[in-house]
Amino acid sequence: MPIQPGDRIPEVVLKYFDDGVQAIDTPTLFEHRKVVLFAVPGAFTPTCSERHLPGFVERFDEFRARGIEVACLAVNDPFVMHAWGEQLGVPAGLRMLSDGNGDFARALGLEMDASAYGMGMRAKRFALYAEDGVVRELFVEAPGEFKVSSAEHVLAHIG
Residue 60 lies in a domain: yes
Is residue 72 part of the annotated active site? The answer reads no
- Taking the C-alpha atoms of residue 115 and residue 99, their distance in angstroms, rounded to an integer, is 17
- pTM comes to 0.95
- Please indicate, yes or no, if residue 2 is contained in any of the structural domains: no
What is the pLDDT of the chain when averaged over all its residues? 95
- Tell me how far apart the alpha carbons of residues 157 and 151 are, in angstroms, rounded to a whole number: 10
| C-alpha distance from residue 8 to each of 11, 23, 36, 134, 140 (Å) | 9, 20, 14, 4, 17
List the domain range (segments joined by +) for residue 133. Answer: 13-157
Q: At 1, is the pLDDT very low, low, confident or very high (cuts 50, 70, 90)?
A: confident
CATH at 42: 3.40.30.10
Residue 59 lies in a domain: yes
Count of CB atoms situated within 10 Å of the CB of 69: 17
Query: How much is the pLDDT for 120?
Result: 73
* 114 vs 142: CA distance, rounded Å: 14
Candidates 48, 68, 75, 138; catalytic one: 48
Number of domains in the chain: 1
